[in-house]
Amino acid sequence: MKKVLIPTKLDTVAAERLRAQGGYEVVQDAKTPLEEQVKAHPDTYALIVRSEKVPAAIIDALPGLKVVVRAGAGFDTIDTKHARKRGVDVMNTPGANANAVAEEVLAMMLADARHIVKADLTTRAGQWEKKDYMGREVTGKTVGIVGLGNIGRLVAKRLKGFDCRLLAYDPLVNSDRMRELGIESASLEEIFKQCDYVTLHIPGGDSTRGLVGAKLLGLMRKGATIINCARFGIVDEDALRAVKAEKGLRYLNDVYAKDEAGPKSMTDIADLMLPHLGANTHEANFVAAQRAAQELIDLDEKGDMSCIVNRDIPEGLERAYCELAFNLASLVRQLSGAQAPIKMLETSFYGALAPFGKWLTVSILSGIWRDFDRYNDYKAAVKFLKEMGIELINREPSSEKGYGNSVTIDLTVELPNQSLKSTSVRGTVTEGVQTVSRIDEFDRLYFEPSGATLFCLYDDRPGVIASISRKLADAGINIEDMRNPHNTKTSRSLAIIKVNQPVSDDLVKVIRADIAAHAAVCTVV
């Protein structure tokens, strides 16, 4: 019998499902601290947790542990890297809580618009403050959705019943998919400038920390509302504090630095605060529990690894090629335009990489969109791309081309005028070093995709490199390496200049104008 420990207040359907399957001994205890349960059950085979922390010490204390299942989407409370070292698979149940969070957003909007919380408290106290609680209606308002993942799309679906005008920002979602969802595509600036409500549904981390800062807040309409049921840190609280009163902004919050009792940093600026209730519904708890149990059963009986979030690379595939695929994808995304909606992703895997195409596709997708976890599997990647309306084509490689063990990525994006632009890169690993061998029509480049690199595409003529060098020198930027291939058919040249620090967007614009470049971008890989 495999012992499964469930040290959390999870719907009993997980324990019932496992017991009914047979072969599992289930211990569910939501009251005893996890550390004590671990000592009492050192023979635990699998852990099913919700928000409980599973650090290295817990993993090490269970010598027979093979699986940790997070009954929910996020798994940052689990030391996934240490688990991998110990041969422990970590799984999650993405999407199980999506509807619960989407409904919470609407509940917060309505509660704030009609002063539900304050009106209830004062009426219970025997007061009659009807005149003080003049509200407003959500119907007909313009709502901006930042991030169109599972939750963002459900928020849009639920809001349609309120006849709202829906705007959304998501660099991965193209205009065709937006139209299918009945949503207008907009930039972040347009959303914050035009919307009565802005609801956030993007991951946390370095890429989004402080995203909603002084610039975006300064664009907001007077009396507009921000709803954050996504992650703590996305909203710059100091910036909000500076403009909130002047603009009469409303801030509804359900996320914190730590999910625990104690003072909260946004108490003075939040008009409605909830204790991270997004996933806290009986239905979400039931679905997450049911999926957690089924995933464990499927892993044991069918070898289904589709929900493992800390998989190791398969035997026969060098880790360097996973990193190559990731870095090539990051490069092609930046060359294409990091904010341009994607229409199509085409890949080719040559030589000994051909059998690992599905695995490498996941690395590519995580390189294009850093918030797509690279420990996902191919099935999750295909599902994600389908939801985003992006076509995926894995081309059959031709051995006659003699590319050796290499990866080609073609990315087609949609430009503001809805025309399409395709960018192609190819790379390989030579003597352990990643190299980019081709970008579009420029072949045999052989430079390493690392650090900051300035790319300038221009009509071939003398003096251009000197002009670029001068501008970089004036800005105190040093050139570390350079390639300058020419294409006689198009009469175009490509300057590939590795520099010691990223080139600012403003300087890139100056260089582009100075040399009349067709394109100029500084990438950081």
CATH number at residue 190: 3.40.50.720
- Per-residue pLDDT at 316: 83
Q: Does one domain contain both 92 and 18?
A: yes
Domain annotation covers residue 308: no
Q: Does one domain contain both 192 and 103?
A: yes
Q: Does one domain contain both 469 and 369?
A: yes
CA torsion angle 259 264 269 271 (round to 10) = 50
* Separation of alpha carbons 1 and 46, rounded Å: 12
Q: Is the pTM of this model over 0.75?
A: yes
Task: Give how many domains the chain has, as a whole number.
Answer: 3
- What is the chain's percent helix, strand, coil content, to nearest 5? 35, 25, 40
Q: Does one domain contain both 88 and 103?
A: no
* Separation of alpha carbons 250 and 383, rounded Å: 36
- Residue that is written with structure tokens 């947790």 in the block: 49
Q: Does one domain contain both 61 and 145?
A: no
- Per-residue pLDDT at 174: 85
- Residue that is written with structure tokens 């970008």 in the block: 439
Q: pLDDT band at 172, cuts 50/70/90? A: confident
Q: pLDDT band at 432, cuts 50/70/90? A: confident
- Mean pLDDT for all residues in the chain: 92
Token pair of 37 as six digits: 């349960």
Q: Does one domain contain both 295 and 361?
A: no
Q: Does one domain contain both 287 and 422?
A: no
- Residue that is written with structure tokens 């895997």 in the block: 349
pLDDT exceeds cutoff 90 at 127: yes
Q: Where are the beta strands (DSSP E) in 93-164?
A: 142-146
What percent of the chain has a predicted confidence (pLDDT) above 70? Answer: 99
Measured in residues, the chain has a length of 525
Q: Does one domain contain both 71 and 147?
A: no
Domain containing 204 equals 98-273
Give 486's contacts (C-beta < 8 A, 6+ positions apart).
460, 492, 493
pLDDT exceeds cutoff 80 at 427: yes
For the segment 133-149, the average pLDDT, to the nearest whole number, is 96
pLDDT exceeds cutoff 90 at 396: no
Give 462's contacts (C-beta < 8 A, 6+ positions apart).
none
Q: Does one domain contain both 123 and 28?
A: no
Domain annotation covers residue 425: yes
